[in-house]
């Protein structure tokens, strides 16, 4: 898996991010970097809310 270091430097996860902020960040991350997939409880919640 390749990391897009420039994208990571420019797009930090906000401190104490809300679910919406985390979901938005992870969706953008999936489009711009392939270092890891969305997984676990976040992925389940995103599916439940129709975001995936």
Look up tokens 């999936």; give the residue.
Answer: 30
pLDDT value of position 2: 84
Q: Which of 49, 40, 33, 51 is nearest to 13 (CA)?
A: 33
pLDDT value of position 49: 95
Q: How far apart are CA 7 and CA 42, in angstroms?
A: 21
52 pLDDT higher than 80: yes
7 pLDDT higher than 90: yes
The string of pLDDT tens digits covering residues 28-45 is: 999 999 899 999 999 999
Per the structure, the count of domains in the chain is 1
pTM of the model: 0.87
- By residue range, what is the domain housing residue 24? 5-48
Q: How far apart are CA 38 and CA 42, in angstroms?
A: 7
The string of pLDDT tens digits covering residues 11-28 is: 999 999 999 999 999 999
């Amino acid at each position: 898996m390749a990391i897009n270091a420039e994208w990571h430097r420019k797009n930090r996860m906000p401190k104490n991010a809300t679910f919406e902020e985390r979901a938005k960040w992870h969706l953008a991350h999936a489009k711009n970097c392939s270092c890891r997939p969305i997984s676990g409880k976040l992925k389940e919640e995103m599916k439940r809310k129709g975001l995936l």
